[in-house]
Amino acid sequence: MNKFTLGLTAVVSMMSSGVFAASCPSYLNVEMRKLHSKDSINLCELTQGKPVLIVNTASNCGYTSQFKALEALHKQYKDKGLVVIGFPSDDFFQEENDEKDTAKVCYINYGVTFTMLATSGVRGDDANSVFQYLADKSASPKWNFYKYLVSADGTQVQQFNSKVEPESPQLIQAIESVL
């Protein structure tokens, strides 16, 4: 490549990343560590212009079996643009003390392939930035496996309580309406 082409490529790359950063909702403008990993993920890059299903999870809850249906949703809708993100939390005292045990529940017991992040707070002053935003837009989760469906531009948030199963017609209809 000649110097002009290299320079033009660099300028275009910088401009597109600047536009991308400007279009990213502020609550997603964060790096978060993946579950039981040293690797982090940029939530803006992961969700860029896509609707997101955000779920606060726990390994030892009566609703833990919802992981299986959440994984099915992920597989069914990922190619249509839906991003599913799990946020393990011990805010309701039902999460493993060691992340390796949480990872075992998610990855081995339930075969989760959607993005799972490191354990963090989802309520009150200790809530991570994503759940602070969700609390402002709708409400804090009242229990584990609350589901938040966020529009691609981040402005619309629909909340579904723990009893709403991932495969429920109510949630499926909401997902299909934002795709």
* Alpha-carbon dihedral sign for residues 106, 30, 79, 146: positive
Catalytic site positions: 61
